[in-house]
Amino acid sequence: MLEVKDLQVSYGQSEVIGNLAFEVGRNETLAIMGRNGMGKTTLMKALMGILRSRKGSVKLDGKDLTKMESYQRVAAGLAFVPQGRMIFSALTVQENIETGLETADSKTIPDDIFALFPVLHEMRKRKGGNLSGGQQQQLAIARALVSEPKVLILDEPTEGIQPSVIKDIARVLNEIRKTREISILVSEQVLSFTLAIADRLLVIDKGRFIHENRRDQVDAEKIKQYLSV
Amino acid sequence: MGGYTFSELGSIFVMQGFSGLSLFCVYLLMALGLAIIFGQMGVINMAHGEFLTMGAYTTYFMSKLAVDHFPALVGIYFPFAIILGFLIAFGMGYLLEVLLIRHLYKRPLDTLLATWGVSLVLQQVFRSAFGAREVSATLPAWLLGSVKPTETIDIPLNGLFMMGLTLVLSLLVFIFLFRSRWGLKVRATTQNRVMSGGVGINTKKVDRMTFAVGCGIAGVAGAVFTTIASTGPTTGSLYIVDTFLVVVFGGAASLVGTVASAFSIAQAQSVLEFFLTSSIAKVLTLLTVITVIMARPEGLFTIRVRK
Ligand SMILES: Nc1ncnc2c1ncn2[C@@H]1O[C@H](COP(=O)(O)OP(=O)(O)OP(=O)(O)O)[C@@H](O)[C@H]1O
Ligand SMILES: [Mg+2]
């Protein structure tokens, strides 16, 4: 589904992502794990066209996205839930979700979104900035989902969120993967969350993959070791 | 207050207040466009006044056309002049964005200089094309005359018309911004450009539209302006500094703030002007504005949410 080859991203002279290659299969959930500062966000931003890559290619369903701008990548089928959520704080919850409808056929929010996130329906008239962190995370996911993506990209969705809401988010991600048959690419540091959703996981370190495992063969101790230090 | 009786003073306040309202209308129409553009792309458009001038000249030529060739249309040309004024300013704004502004995003000082240059060039173009002399549009008969609610109060019809139009236009802008999909995109981009791209909004297209619409509103302001004053090559530039004051004072993020600030600045100037000289009135207004901005750097009105 999503095919990344030879990707290289730098800030000025400092190379942060070096020749990464990976693939997210159809209806697969792939997790990328790594400590702070190892390049997860940089990778996600490069996939979304927010950062320019120096080299390499990104393909979605055979279509080359490498030269496209962010909005074109969304139109092609990517959707992004950034680290720190980045909801529009002065827009209402409803308006926030509506911004995601740009590439959708209908410009009204489908009912199943509110079925997934009942709390957003209750709060739809409130300003996004006045929601709690967990509610904002759900809002950011809803905003991404309404564009009907083929691949949903989430950057550390559990950061700063309490365990019960983390469980909620895991449940929702599993549900949409089943009902919408989409692929999910997620970056994470919380192993229990990753194990609850991912089919496969990669460990990134200084912009390179150093470990790969399927969920059923995961060596939890080893991954914990990679994530600590 | 030397020599005025109480009822005379009352009338003076009403009439000066009313002339302040006309000024308020010009400020508001200019400031709306300027504020939307500034909010959307951080561009301070120094040439904004020239779009007002374009609208004013458009109206003048429509009236001349009507008077010279189609006398029967003198009574009805005005609404068409407003529409044409909008379209011309909109089109020129669009061109300016495509040819110049979009190459200068993220360089606020350069846009300031570049648009200032454009402003000077346009003024010279007006001067060469239409002459340095001020011209006045021939107003339809229904815009002349005044209403006299009391013996000493005299309220001109053209002023009332102008107010009505400003109200309608401001409402349209509000509806556009807060009820339309275009407005939603503008507000999203204003808040977070990168994320707006990340949810699928073509922010550059929104920029172009917004810039053109902001200029178009100034064009309408120009058409309306001809009902209260004559038009010259530098007409628009006379208002640009005051309009900046309005935008900064009101807080660039808030339209309500823009309205309130246009109102208070216009009223203060106009009422003070009657009792003091106009430069002292300006000084007093400026001092007040500076004091307020020192106390509230974000302007009078800000949207309060967690960041
Ligand atoms: N704008 C920038 N300019 C220069 N260097 C940057 C910039 N943004 C990030 N970096 C550097 O790139 C490296 C990777 O950062 P990145 O944000 O991708 O890490 P991350 O894996 O997402 O970390 P975290 O878990 O803390 O979110 C870090 O060393 C960081 O200092
Ligand atoms: Mg990160």
DSSP string, B209-236: HHHHHHHHHHHHHHHHHTTTS-B-TTTT
pLDDT above 70 coverage of chain B, percent:
95
Which residue from A minimizes the CA distance to B200? A71
Do A119 and A164 touch, CB atoms closer than 8 A? Answer: no
Domain assignment present for B49: yes
pLDDT digits (tens, 9 = 90+) for B112-136: 899 999 999 999 999 999 988 999 8
Do B48 and B34 touch, CB atoms closer than 8 A? Answer: yes
Domain assignment present for B196: yes
Instruction: Pick the closest to residue B101 from B50, B33, B44 (CA basis).
Output: B44
Do A24 and A198 touch, CB atoms closer than 8 A? Answer: no
B170 touches chain A (CB under 8 A): no
pLDDT digits (tens, 9 = 90+) for A104-130: 888 899 999 999 999 999 999 999 999
**CA dist., res. A40 & res. A46, Å (int):** 10
A80–B198 C-beta distance less than 8 A: yes
* Chain B interface test: which of A44, A45, A70, A143 (most B C-beta within 10 Å): A70
**CA dist., res. A93 & res. A117, Å (int):** 12
Domain assignment present for B72: yes
Cα of A208 vs centre of ligand 1, distance in Å, is 14
Count the domains in chain B: 1
Query: Maximum distance among all alpha carbons in chain B?
Result: 67
Domain assignment present for B275: no
Q: Supply B80's token pair.
A: 């068409």
Region B152-177 average pLDDT? 85
A48–B199 C-beta distance less than 8 A: no
pLDDT band at A146 (very low <50, low <70, confident <90, very high): very high
**CA dist., res. A195 & res. A216, Å (int):** 9
Domain assignment present for B291: no
Domain assignment present for B227: yes
Domain assignment present for B219: yes
Is any ligand 1 atom within 6 A of the Cβ of residue A38?
A: yes
Region A87-110 average pLDDT? 93
Res. B294: pLDDT tops 90:
no
Instruction: Pick the closest to residue B306 from A161, A85, A97 (CA basis).
Output: A85
Do A20 and A185 touch, CB atoms closer than 8 A? Answer: no
Instruction: Pick the closest to residue B112 from B28, B180, B37 (CA basis).
Output: B37
- Give me the domain span that covers residue B170: 16-236
Amino acid B104: pLDDT: 87
Give the long-range contacts of residues A222-228, CB within 8 A, separation 24 or more. Answer: A223/A33, A223/A191, A224/A191, A226/A33, A226/A34, A226/A35, A227/A33, A227/A34, A227/A35, A227/A189, A227/A191, A227/A203
A149-153, A182-186, A216-220, B149-153: the lowest-pLDDT one:
B149-153
CATH second-level architecture of A2-227?
3-Layer(aba) Sandwich (3.40)
B193 touches chain A (CB under 8 A): no
A215-224, B127-136, B149-158, B217-226: the lowest-pLDDT one:
B149-158
Total residues belonging to chain B: 307
Res. B263: pLDDT tops 70:
yes
Ligand 1 atom having least distance to the Cα of A38:
21
Amino acid A123: pLDDT: 94
* Chain A interface test: which of B199, B205, B305 (most A C-beta within 10 Å): B199
Amino acid B92: pLDDT: 96
Res. A217: pLDDT tops 90:
no
A50 touches chain B (CB under 8 A): yes
Region A165-194 average pLDDT? 93
Which residue from B minimizes the CA distance to A128? B305
* Angle, helices B255-275/B278-295, rounded to nearest 10 degrees: 150
Is any ligand 1 atom within 6 A of the Cβ of residue A39?
A: yes
The minimal CB distance from A89 to the residues B194, B198, B306 is found for: B306
B181–A100 C-beta distance less than 8 A: no
Do A205 and A226 touch, CB atoms closer than 8 A? Answer: yes
Is any ligand 1 atom within 6 A of the Cβ of residue A45?
A: no
Domain ranges across chain A: 2-227
Domain assignment present for B139: yes
Do A64 and A108 touch, CB atoms closer than 8 A? Answer: no
Instruction: Pick the closest to residue B140 from B82, B75, B77 (CA basis).
Output: B75
B256 touches chain A (CB under 8 A): no
pLDDT digits (tens, 9 = 90+) for A26-68: 999 999 999 999 999 999 999 999 999 999 999 999 999 999 9
Find residues 158-197 of chain A whose CB sits inside 8 Å of chain B. none
A176-185, B114-123, B291-300: the lowest-pLDDT one:
B291-300
One-letter identity of residue B243: T
Q: How far is A27 from chain B (nearest CA, A)?
A: 21
Region A82-87 average pLDDT? 94
Instruction: Pick the closest to residue A30 from A163, A205, A161, A182 (CA basis).
Output: A182
- Dihedral of CA B31/B34/B38/B40: which sign? positive
